[in-house]
Each structure stands twice: as C-alpha cells, then as structure tokens.
Amino acid sequence: RRVLCAGMGGSGITGDMLARLLSVEVVPHRGYTIPSTVDAETLLLGISYSGGTEETLSAFRQGLERTERAMAVTSGGALAQLCRERGVPMIEIPKGLQPRAALGYLLFSLLPWFGRLGLCPHDLASVPGLMEEMVRRYTPYSRGNAAQSLAKALHRRVPLVYGAHGAMATAALRWKTQINENAKQPAFWAELPELCHNEIVGYELSEVLLPSACVVFLRSPQDHPRIQARVDILKEVLKRRGLSYVEAWAHGGTEIEELLSMVCLGDWVSVYMALMNRVDPTPVRPIEELKKRLGSWNNT
Ligand code: F6R
C-alpha cells in the first residue's frame, strides 16, 4: 500500500523522485526513527549509496521490526551486511562514486523494478536519449550553453531556487543540494504556491540582509495556470524590491522527462558554479568530518 524510502542526502533524493513517479504512495524519510504508519503493508526501502549512513541504518533496522516487505539499494557497507544477515533482498550498485553522482544507478535500478509491479506508469524508453541530448547541450564543448549562462548569472549570488509543488519542487531541492555540495556555497529552495504564504514576506528585508540573493524559477509548461500567474506577479515584486531572478525551463513532454531534464541542468549549473568559485566539485569534506566525529561521539 505504501513505500517508505529511508535515505539521506544524495541517496535520499531518490525517495522524492520516486514519490513523483510511482503510482503508489511513497514517503521519503530522513531521520533516525520511522513514522507510526509503517506496518506490514508497507514496503521499506533503504537507500544509502555508501551503506554506512547512520540515520538510514537506524530507520531501516527499526522498519524491519514492523514489516517483512523490505529491500535496499546500496554499493555495500553496513546496509549490505545487514541485508545479508537478515535475508533482505538488495540491489547492489557499483562502488567508487560520490553518492550524489550515483543518482542514475539509484533511481534506474528501482524504476524498472517498480514498473514490473505495475507501479511505474512512465515510459522509460525515451529517457536515456533525452539525457544524452541534455548532456550534449550542457557539456563544456558546447560553449555559451544554458547551464554556463545560468552559472554566470548566479556567480557570487545566493540562489533561492523555486519550483511548483510536484516535479519542479523536487528538482529545486536537487538544485539546492547540488549547489551546496558541488559549488560549496549557500543555496536555498522553496515551493510554489506555498512560498507565496510566507517566504515573500521575508523579501521586505532581503535588500538589507540578503542583497546577493537571486531567485531561480524552475518552470514547466505544465505548471498550473495559477502558478504561472503567481510567477509573473512574483517577478514584478522582485523587480520592485531590486532583487534579481533568472528562469530555467524544463525539456521534454512528460513528467519524468521534465523532472530529469531539470535535474540534469541543475547538476551542470552546480559544476560550472564550482569552477567559477574555484573549488573542486567532488569532495565533501565537511560531511565526511561530521560523520567521522559522530562515529567517535559518546552520547552517554
Ligand atoms: C555525497 C552526498 C551526500 C550523501 C549523504 C548520505 O556525495 O551526496 O549527501 O549522499 O551524506 O550518504 P549515503 O548516500 O552514502 O547514504
């Protein structure tokens, strides 16, 4: 009846994407303890690229007490070990990548599997071709491309990435986290229409407190007409307050194509931003240091 996806960071976003793409209730879960709704009718999905993330392991262990329907996706570590010990089915994906760069493995090992259960109503056949086309567009060999232009517009800015509730909001979360981890700088995200009920009030002092903010609207031609109206009004408000904005449009005609094309664009933008920030996009030392320190942390 429902899928609970326990996963953090670059692995956890897989749960948000599955929630957009599957025809069953999917609950992305980021925390140590699981909600009380997890029962024998819940499929517990543990997603951790490294297999060593303590929140995911804790939630997964707790979930195994409540349901026998469980599986994991990982490249190894303690999660793989736990699955072997408890006889839990597991999809093992190749080692050696940064978790956030393994999204293709994490998502596409699961989508066809759910497809066979009749729970993925999307035609996946067109997706690889679209991804190749996106990569051709945004590669450094394609000079002055949209990803480079957006990175230039966002250079030395704090991006506030906005998308409409649904696929574009999920893409906005991925943009934010990729800009954090690749470009090593602050970025925030919010979703429409919710942000019209709180975030916009904060613009009043933005000029003083966050003058370098730049709103990034992630747009889809499928956006609800009232969302389109809200974006047009927001642009006027931002202009009036002297705040800047840029826009990016999704490609493709289906929800899965739009989501993945927007994720692909954001990934490239974050890497170009890293190069402009003169930082190495790959390592994430603060995350590693925190995990290491927690490993030797005594709670008692
Ligand atoms: C690093 C990254 C992080 C990790 C997160 C959880 O590239 O994206 O956000 O994904 O620290 O680790 P894993 O994915 O190994 O469970």
- Residues 231-261: tens digit of each pLDDT: 999 999 999 998 999 999 999 989 999 999 9
Reported confidence tier of residue 206, pLDDT bands at 50, 70, 90: confident
Look up residue 121 and give its two tokens. Answer: 């109503």
Q: By the 8 A CB rule, do 252 and 130 touch? A: yes
- Mean pLDDT over residues 103-127, rounded? 94
Q: Choose one of 49, 57, 58, 176 to mutate for the ligand 1 pocket test, by most ligand atoms within 8 angstroms of C-beta.
A: 49
Number of Cβ within a 10 Å radius of residue 284: 19
Q: Who contacts 290 (Cβ-Cβ below 8 Å, separation ≥6)? A: none
pTM here?
0.97
Instruction: Pick the residue whose CA is nearest to atom 9 on ligand 1.
Output: 9
Q: State yes or no: pLDDT of 299 exceeds 90.
A: no
Residue 216 contacts residue 191 (beta carbons within 8 Å): no
CA 292–ligand 1 middle distance (angstroms): 14
User: Average pLDDT for residues 76-103, to the nearest whole number?
Assistant: 98
Give residue 223 CA to ligand 1 midpoint distance, Å: 31
Q: Specify the 3-state DSSP secondary structure of 3.
A: strand
pLDDT of amino acid 295: 86
Tell me if 14 CB under 6 Å of ligand 1: no
What is the reported pLDDT for 300? 56
Give yes or no for residue 23 having a pLDDT over 60: yes
Name the helix (H) or strand (E) containing 191. strand 188-192
Q: What is the dihedral of CA 160, 163, 166, 167, to 10 degrees?
A: -100
Q: What is the 5 CA–ligand 1 centroid distance (Å)? A: 15
Ligand 1 atom closest to the CA of 9, numbered from 1: 9
In percent, how much of the chain has pLDDT > 70? Answer: 100
